[in-house]
Amino acid sequence: MSLDRIQALRKSLHDHNFRYYVSDNPIISDFEFDKLLFELSELEQKNPDAFDPNSPTQRVGGEIVKSFDSVVHRRPMLSLSNSYNQDEITAFIKRCQSVSGEELDLSVELKYDGVAISLCYENRKLIRAVTRGDGVNGDDVSVNIRTIKNIPLILPNVAPNELEVRGEVYFTSDAFEDLNKKRFDSDGAKFANPRNAASGTLKLQDSFEVATRRLSALMYSVYSDEFDFKTHIESLRLISEWGFPVPNQESGWIRSCKSVDDIFQYLSFWDTERHSLPFAIDGAVIKVNSILIQEKIGFTAKSPRWAIAYKFNSEKVLTRLREVKYQIGRTGAITPVAVLDPVWISGTVVRRASIHNADQIAKLNLHEGDSVWIEKGGEIIPKILEVEISKRLIGSNPIKFILNCPDCHSLLERKEGDAQHYCLNMDTCKPQIKGRLNHFIHRKAMNIDGVGTETIDQLVEIGLVHKPSNLYELDEEDWFKLDKFRDKSVKNVLAGIEKSKMVSFERVLFSIGIRHVGSTVAKKLSKHFGSIDSLINASESELLDVEDIGPMIAKSLRSYFSNQSYLLEIEKLRAIGLNFKSEVINKSGNKLVGFSFVISGVFEFFSRDEIKKSVEDNGGKIVSSVSSKTDYLLMGSGVGPSKIKKADLHGVKRLTENEFLRWIGSSK
């Protein structure tokens, strides 16, 4: 009887939540709702076996999370290309029309200034909520997302079994003001802006505290292999009926546009009216409305070609230059940074602005104590636009770029054609040493548990570590010399260092810090050459044969491997046990080289990640959507009819799991 009552209460409360937060049509009072919720909570406490993470009682939080698991996105969360003027918008539309071969219906909607989130549903239940992260991996913040009252936990039967909905988690202006007032009243520091507050709140370990802060959400995209969405706007209308918060069409937050003039009218209106919204925005997003045409236009490695973000004109503020400081990067590059009188701009207090290099200082004609105009534009770090000459102090001296390294005092050098000055003292210049070590331990690189930036600072300052190989040479006594390192922390860090020896070659290659070799380039190089020896011995022309490797990267690689001290460090790391050779999965050869695959459905012998890895291990290429350039649709069970239809439309061959296994010669 209790279990039946629990299920009935959950169903009723989910329905009342939908009526209150989505339909804006409640049929019971808050008092009656709370009474039902209290009854459910008591019954769940008496029947712990009936626990359900999607119960309405979970919205009040209370669970403590010690850490957030990293999760691979089922579909990469790409970022949007930015535009700042009408010419760029016009060019974007022309490109899309050229590829599609027809006049386009476009959607334009507000770009919410919050935190991107992916909501994953299976069997119509929320199973996971993941932050964007780096686009490939994000943090599982499901416990905290369940406290957001306008996000549905259970979907109606008309919704597909598998569904991914993406959107933005944000603070309304009222909720943000309340949060800052509470923090101020309790002697806490105020949040600088709503976006930072939302990001910080999603990473709180106490979900009860998250629930008290009143986060909100709005959805902007939807994906399913089981459902054929026709247009972007239709997809939002449908998920609205399933309980999701979406942009309000009646208020003009999203609009269908038939012409460039319609889009510009929308942008002009919201550039002026954005301050009247109940939440912060930082622009608008223009998308091709048809899902079929979206897939025809396709993607770059980083962003969809069928969508673009438009950034509103940024604020321009006048403030005073206090001084210019100089930062030293891990490669020895010297970057000047302006220290400013603090000023509020575009939602944050700005105290610093990048000046980039010596040429920029000369171009701005900066003098000591100048009044300068700054803006954020689309940049994360604010920049100086120009000097207000009318306010220049009489007798002030021009800012001159330094001649010597601010740390080790070595003479700086600047190569012909290079915008940066460099400190070439890589052996004893501490900021460079720390920078290289911090890069080495980074999560995308060696990801050594127990070693962070503060630990690296201590190790370098007391002279225990100068190069990555030194980390592996430390014993227990060395680690006990550090502040806050006791038995447990020393044990953890030694285990983390030992575990890092299992890291793949591509990540080791990224970790050693070759200039211009990021994680993606390292992956391509490790796949192509297979070992560090083959890469070291590759000529510049052989490097240029690798996909996406240009002259700049090739020259950087040849320069790095011509340096005897770098080669010696690689040999030390190899002797320690780091992996400088790709794992060979299939000894019979690269059977899938030259073919591209879209993966869809549920597989019998592989998880989704395993079958992707199998394709790549055999030389194939994974692409995110079906297009005329796709060779195969690799299908498991439950493939959506729209995927099959698009594959047939573009002449893409269908491939079953068993056919795939026979092709690669697997015995599974």
Contact (Cβ atoms closer than 8 angstroms) between residue 88 and residue 311: no
Q: What confidence score (pLDDT) does residue 588 get?
A: 44
CATH number for 279: 3.30.470.30
Contact (Cβ atoms closer than 8 angstroms) between residue 659 and residue 582: no
pTM of the model: 0.55
* 543 plus 603 within the same structural domain: no
Cα separations in angstroms, 204 against 63, 65, 200, 353: 11, 8, 7, 30
Q: What confidence score (pLDDT) does residue 235 get?
A: 95
* 571 plus 616 within the same structural domain: no
Q: Which residues contact 41 (CB under 8 A, 6 or more apart)?
A: 57
* Mean pLDDT to the nearest integer, 649-662: 88
Contact (Cβ atoms closer than 8 angstroms) between residue 225 and residue 625: no
The sheet that has 163-170: what strands, in order across it? 125-131, 115-122, 163-170, 216-223
| Full residue range of the structural domain in which residue 465 is found | 430-502
The predicted-structure confidence for 547-604, as pLDDT tens digits, reads as follows 778 888 999 999 999 999 999 999 999 999 999 998 654 444 578 888 889 888 878 7
* 113 plus 229 within the same structural domain: yes
* 119 plus 206 within the same structural domain: yes
How many whole angstroms separate alpha carbon 326 and alpha carbon 338? 9
% of the chain exceeding 70 in pLDDT: 93
Q: Would residue 67 count as lying in a domain? A: no
Q: Would residue 483 count as lying in a domain? A: yes
How many whole angstroms separate alpha carbon 210 and alpha carbon 215? 8
Question: Which residue among the candidates 46, 66, 111, 587 is catalytic per the annotation?
Answer: 111
* Mean pLDDT to the nearest integer, 633-641: 80
* 195 plus 124 within the same structural domain: yes
Q: What confidence score (pLDDT) does residue 527 get?
A: 84
Q: Which residue, among 606, 610, 616, 598, has the nearest Cα to 655 in the 3D structure?
A: 598
How many whole angstroms separate alpha carbon 143 and alpha carbon 164? 17
Q: What confidence score (pLDDT) does residue 347 get?
A: 61
The predicted-structure confidence for 374-400, as pLDDT tens digits, reads as follows 987 544 568 899 999 999 999 999 999
Query: Between 272 and 446, whose confidence is greater?
Result: 446
Query: Between 547 and 290, whose confidence is greater?
Result: 290
* 197 plus 296 within the same structural domain: yes
* Mean pLDDT to the nearest integer, 268-272: 88
* 475 plus 493 within the same structural domain: yes
Contact (Cβ atoms closer than 8 angstroms) between residue 327 and residue 303: no
The predicted-structure confidence for 475-491, as pLDDT tens digits, reads as follows 999 999 998 899 998 99
Cα separations in angstroms, 17 against 62, 148, 172, 536: 20, 11, 19, 61
Active site residue 111: yes
Q: Would residue 425 count as lying in a domain? A: no
Q: What confidence score (pLDDT) does residue 587 get?
A: 43
Q: Looking at the predicted structure, is the pLDDT value of residue 338 above 90?
A: yes
* 544 plus 625 within the same structural domain: no
The predicted-structure confidence for 508-536, as pLDDT tens digits, reads as follows 999 999 988 988 889 889 988 999 999 99
Last residue of a domain, one of 391, 419, 443: 391
The predicted-structure confidence for 183-239, as pLDDT tens digits, reads as follows 765 555 667 678 888 988 998 888 888 888 999 999 999 999 888 899 999 999 999
Residue-by-residue DSSP string for 328-369: E-TT-EEEEEEEEEEEEETTEEEEEEE--SHHHHHHHT-BTT
Question: Any idea which of 38-47, 250-259, 652-661 has the lowest mean pLDDT?
Answer: 38-47
Last residue of a domain, one of 502, 521, 552: 502
Structure tokens at 141: 């913040």
* Mean pLDDT to the nearest integer, 266-279: 88
* 603 plus 565 within the same structural domain: no
Query: First and final CA of the chain: distance in angstroms?
Result: 47
The predicted-structure confidence for 9-67, as pLDDT tens digits, reads as follows 878 887 777 666 555 567 877 677 777 877 877 777 777 777 777 777 776 655 566 67
**Average pLDDT, rounded, for the chain:** 87
Query: Between 623 and 427, whose confidence is greater?
Result: 427
Number of domains in the chain: 6
Q: Would residue 591 count as lying in a domain? A: no
Q: Would residue 208 count as lying in a domain? A: yes
Q: What confidence score (pLDDT) does residue 344 get?
A: 79
Q: Which residues contact 265 (CB under 8 A, 6 or more apart)?
A: none
Amino acid, single-letter form, for residue 224: S
Q: What confidence score (pLDDT) does residue 306 get?
A: 95
Q: Would residue 516 count as lying in a domain? A: yes
* 466 plus 521 within the same structural domain: no
* 456 plus 349 within the same structural domain: no
Q: Would residue 585 count as lying in a domain? A: no
Residue-by-residue DSSP string for 559-610: HHHT-HHHHHHHHHHHHHT---B---S-TT--TTTT-EEEEESB-SS--HHH
CATH number for 487: 1.10.150.20
* 103 plus 237 within the same structural domain: yes
Q: What confidence score (pLDDT) does residue 503 get?
A: 92
CATH number for 654: 3.40.50.10190
Q: Looking at the predicted structure, is the pLDDT value of residue 441 above 60?
A: yes
Cα separations in angstroms, 352 against 264, 393, 397, 412, 576: 33, 21, 20, 23, 42
Q: Would residue 136 count as lying in a domain? A: yes
* Mean pLDDT to the nearest integer, 602-628: 80
DSSP H or E stretch at residue 622: strand 621-622
